[in-house]
């Protein structure tokens, strides 16, 4: 049981309960069977006490950020355009990765949360490449596991697509930057590649992105405001790129209201490249 009280007022976060069967889209009908191997108190507390502590502290100070993250992952579950195209095969997986990121960042597992974002970005980029540049046979081979596609390969091919070349030219005219461009002398990597490179630092636990570094030397998990903020910023970047990829792959796609604030909210403060991409793809500047 989480221990948190707002003064003498009972805190809704201090109790747990199982959800009823009707809360799940799929699952066995009827009541749960009686426990057959109940965890002991010592083990339960050892596993949950630190993450519980972090989750209470995080949600004390970052309620609005957590609400935004939760709304965004929910937007990927049932996109308005539900055609079973190449993108369809990863939308639920991307939603799962975003949801896992929210929960891990809530509980202080910041490096793991960032790794979830890398998976989401990679999946969306590869599926956009399959949708725009490949045949149905290519898609089926990838789904079966008979074809391996890297993130960099997908970016290279996407950059050669006619529609994306127009987008790249538009963004470049506004800020001399790209979305899928490779790193060159005197030039940064494109937006998608740069975000992916940053996320990869966490996935591979490089010295600047280890658990210990994000917990400021602790053996955690512990609540670290700066580390939560880092994950939050990367979450917004990943979500924005993902919606842009979806729009490129599905030209008729309309942005869900829960995702539109990614490109115009004063609280989110989107990157310029996101705003210009929005202007090009949806035909207007965000309000």
**What's the pLDDT tens digit per position in 226-251?**
999 999 999 999 999 999 999 999 99
In a domain, 118, yes or no: yes
Q: Does 5 reside within a domain?
A: no
Cβ partners under 8 Å of residue 88, min gap 6: 82
* Total number of residues shown for the chain: 287
pLDDT at residue 2, rounded to an integer? 45
- The answer to whether position 3 is within a domain reads no
How far, in Å, CA of 287 to CA of 281, rounded? 15
Give the chain's residues under pLDDT 70: 1-9, 25-28, 78-83, 185-186, 285-287
Range of the domain at 132: 48-282
In a domain, 232, yes or no: yes
Question: Beta strands of the chain (E only): which ranges?
Answer: 5-6, 9-10
Buried/exposed code over 151-170 (b: 16+ C-beta within 10 A; e: otherwise): beebbebbbebeebeebbee
DSSP structure class, residue 123? H
**pTM for the full model?**
0.91
Rounded Cα distance, 279 and 284, in Å: 5
- Distance (Å, rounded) from C-alpha 84 to C-alpha 94? 15
Closest CA to 283 of 252, 237, 257, 246: 252
Return the closest-CA partner of residue 143 out of 104, 191, 85.
85
Judge whether 249 and 85 are in contact, CB under 8 Å.
yes
Count the domains in the chain: 1
CA distances to 169, 177, 189, 248, 261 from 186, rounded to whole Å, are 19, 12, 10, 28, 33
> What pLDDT is stored for residue 188 in this prediction?
83
Residue 2 lies in a domain: no
**Neighbouring-strand partners of residue 105:** none
Residue 186 is predicted with a pLDDT of 67
Residue 32 placed within a domain: no
| Cα separation of the two ends of the chain | 44
In a domain, 20, yes or no: no
| Cβ atoms of residues 97 and 239 within 8 Å | no
CB atoms within 10 A of CB 182: 13
* Beta carbons of 67 and 106 less than 8 angstroms apart: no
Cis? peptide before 221, omega within 30° of 0: yes
pLDDT digits (tens, 9 = 90+) for 117-169: 999 999 999 999 999 999 989 999 998 999 999 999 999 999 999 999 999 99
What is d(CA 42, CA 58) in angstroms, rounded to the nearest whole number?
Answer: 24
Report the candidate in 198, 202, 154, 148 with the shortest Cα–Cα distance to residue 180: 154
* 13 lies in some domain: no
């Amino acid at each position: 049981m989480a221990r948190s009280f707002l003064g003498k007022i009972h805190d809704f976060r201090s109790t747990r309960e199982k959800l009823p069967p009707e809360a799940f889209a799929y699952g066995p009908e009827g009541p749960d069977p009686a426990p057959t191997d109940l965890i002991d108190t010592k083990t339960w507390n050892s596993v949950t006490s630190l993450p519980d502590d972090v989750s209470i502290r995080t949600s004390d100070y970052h309620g609005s950020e957590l609400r935004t993250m939760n709304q965004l992952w929910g937007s990927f579950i049932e996109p308005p355009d539900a055609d079973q195209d190449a993108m369809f095969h990863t939308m639920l997986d991307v939603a799962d990765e975003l949801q896992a990121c929210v929960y891990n960042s809530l509980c202080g597992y910041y490096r793991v949360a960032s790794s979830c974002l890398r998976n989401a970005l990679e999946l969306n980029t590869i599926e956009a490449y399959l949708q725009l540049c490949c045949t149905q046979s290519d898609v089926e081979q990838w789904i079966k596991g008979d074809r391996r596609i890297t993130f960099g390969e997908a970016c290279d091919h996407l950059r050669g697509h006619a529609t994306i070349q127009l987008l790249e030219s538009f963004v470049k005219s506004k800020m001399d930057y790209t979305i899928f461009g490779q790193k060159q002398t005197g030039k940064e990597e494109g937006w998608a590649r740069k975000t992916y490179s940053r996320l990869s630092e966490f996935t591979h636990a490089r010295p600047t992105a280890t658990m210990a570094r994000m917990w400021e030397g602790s053996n955690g998990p512990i609540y670290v405001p700066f580390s939560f903020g880092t994950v939050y910023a990367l979450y917004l970047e990943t979500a924005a790129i993902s919606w842009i990829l979806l729009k490129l792959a599905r030209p008729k796609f309309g942005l869900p209201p829960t995702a539109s604030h990614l490109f115009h909210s004063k609280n989110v403060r989107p990157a310029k490249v996101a705003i210009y991409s929005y202007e090009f793809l949806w035909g207007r500047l965000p309000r």
